[in-house]
Amino acid sequence: MSQTTLSRTGHDTDRDPFLDLAGRFEAIPDCPGGVVEILGLQALATPDRPYLRVGDRSLTFAELDQVVASRADALRRAGVQRGDRVAYLCDAGFEVVQLLYAVWRLGAINVPLNIFLRGKPLEYQLRDSGSETVVVDRSGLETIQPLLAELPGVKRIVLTESDTDEHGLGDIELLPFDQLVGTPDAAAVEPVGAADPAAIMYTSGTTGMPKGCILSHRYFHHVGREWTAVLELGGDDILLSANPLYHFGGLIPLMAALVSGIPLVVEPVFSGSQFLPRANEVGATVSIGVGFLSVGLLSQPEGPADRRHSIRTMMLAPVSEQDRNRFYERFGIKLVTDVFGQTECTLMACSVVDGKHKPGGAGRPSPWVELAVLDADGWPVQPGEAGEIVVRPKRPGVMYDGYWNKPDVTLQTWRGLWHHTGDLGRLDEEGFLFFVDRKNDAIRRRGENVSSLELEQIIAGHDAVLEAAVVPITVPGEVDATIKACLVLSGTAELTVEGFAQYLNDELPYFAVPRFVELMDELPRNASGRVMKFELRERPNDPPVWDLEALGLLRTRTNRRD
């Protein structure tokens, strides 16, 4: 595979740049093998070309290819086999990227988990995936250790940090990362095919327990190709990412840089004050992030450094129209904000650099999918009418291969030969997509999707709680939704605000902990017994409603993994 170079000499003002997207995509070479085969081809084509940089450490394509072979051999000798699942509970970093590729080389399956998971949600995803190996940093080890007695399937833990302490893991083998050094032996590894599973990525579980999306090696290659085409990545680009690798948004830059043969700089943690100075330091020209990054950058004090960078384009979504305009005027960076996708299909609709933009829009259907908006009976609605967004692929590898261990859910989601997104939207007369609302009961908080059902189940697990309902509410000055929990007590145990806050902090990731808690005699219900959450959203949050933030009982940004 040769390095991909696409023209950025400017678009003909009389031609819609979106029409060139399919051609740019098809111009990128395909690969019939697994992800690591792409790495090997890039190592042969441009061995000395830098690929991965984290902090002050970096590897070329050839160096990473050799390191991955060594790590893979060490994992194989430790017992990791083809088809095994390897879970991750650690920050993005130099070690994690090496292990991702090493697992792919073995034909095993990566299972990135949200680093803020704890308690029952974490136990569920480890048990459901059947992961025998878990990669952790020190915080991840402390989080998983109390659960190991309930996870007999876990056989080994890889620790990404140097550590000589005794952790009392019993029969579970502890493998320090710096000791995972083997003898590269390609002949000992069975070739991995494009259709083989590469990862299981868990959804937020908006209608029940989280579902694991099965993603093939071909899917990852497709993701690299589509984003290379959308962002017009070329040989002179350097890609910068501060997205966590437990989100697919963190794996997109990894694949885009791999496919396009360009350097990738990974920032394990986003910092609004340091992002642009870091971009300037490394010479970054393109960045892929989430919409919340725009808030972090715009909230910094204005100054000369705002234009002291080399970034030409950033993908950030969602971003309000006001912030989109402010961002370009202040930083001079063109934003690609009109996109719509899920883990199941990362780019169902999109816009392109310098392409037509509609305020509030999500772009147009991508050339590699067929997208429609259907009513409750499965019929297409008229332009401008709202319905459920559905999609199906035009070529192999565009979408996921089903949900792990959930064939019935897979069939239901694919009813009528369409993948049903669970999201409501509308198409206008020109074919532009507009997102309307989430069909399922979910809450967006701190850039994360929170399942109301799962959150309510965990809250109701407290001895003093009979039932619970959670709703998103708007608080003046807050960027996104704040969560409120309405409780009916069982009367069998005492509930104190301090004790309940401790329970929430112990059992939930920081972004899912409700700020407001209201005790009620009963929850409002309709004739069918459903909780009328619109009534809960309209209730005041004045005392006696508990405000856990005002009481200093919520984890802060500095201790959110404690």
Cis peptide before 152 (omega within 30 of 0): no
The tokens 């705002």 sit on which residue? 306
In this structure, of 39-48, 270-279, 438-447, the range with the lowest mean pLDDT score is 438-447
Cα separation, 347 vs 216, in Å, equals: 16
pLDDT at position 33, please? 94
SS3 sequence of 540-560: CCCCCCEECCCCCCCCCHHHC
In this structure, of 43-47, 183-187, 401-405, 455-459, the range with the lowest mean pLDDT score is 183-187
Q: What is the pTM of this model?
A: 0.83
Q: How many CA within 13 A on the CB side of residue 373?
A: 24
Q: Does residue 439 have a pLDDT over 80?
A: no
Q: How far is CA 273 from CA 211, 295, 412, in A?
A: 36, 12, 45
pLDDT at position 479, please? 64
Cα separation, 312 vs 171, in Å, equals: 52
Amino acid residing at 290: V
Cα separation, 480 vs 447, in Å, equals: 8
Instruction: Give 9's pLDDT tier (boundaries 50, 70, 90).
Output: very low
Domains of the chain: 31-269 (3.40.50.12780), 339-438 (2.30.38.10), 442-559 (3.30.300.30)
The larger pLDDT score, comparing residue 203 to residue 76, is at 76
Residues 51-69: tens digit of each pLDDT: 999 999 999 999 999 999 9
pLDDT at position 340, please? 94
Cis peptide before 383 (omega within 30 of 0): no
Kindly state the average pLDDT of the residues 328-353.
95
Q: Does residue 29 have a pLDDT over 80?
A: yes
pLDDT at position 3, please? 46
pLDDT at position 437, please? 67
The larger pLDDT score, comparing residue 339 to residue 7, is at 339
Tokens matching residue 31: 């690969």
Kindly state the average pLDDT of the residues 388-405.
97
Tokens matching residue 223: 């993701």
pLDDT at position 454, please? 79
255-269 b/e with 16+ CB inside 10 Å = b?
bbbbbbbbbbbbbbe
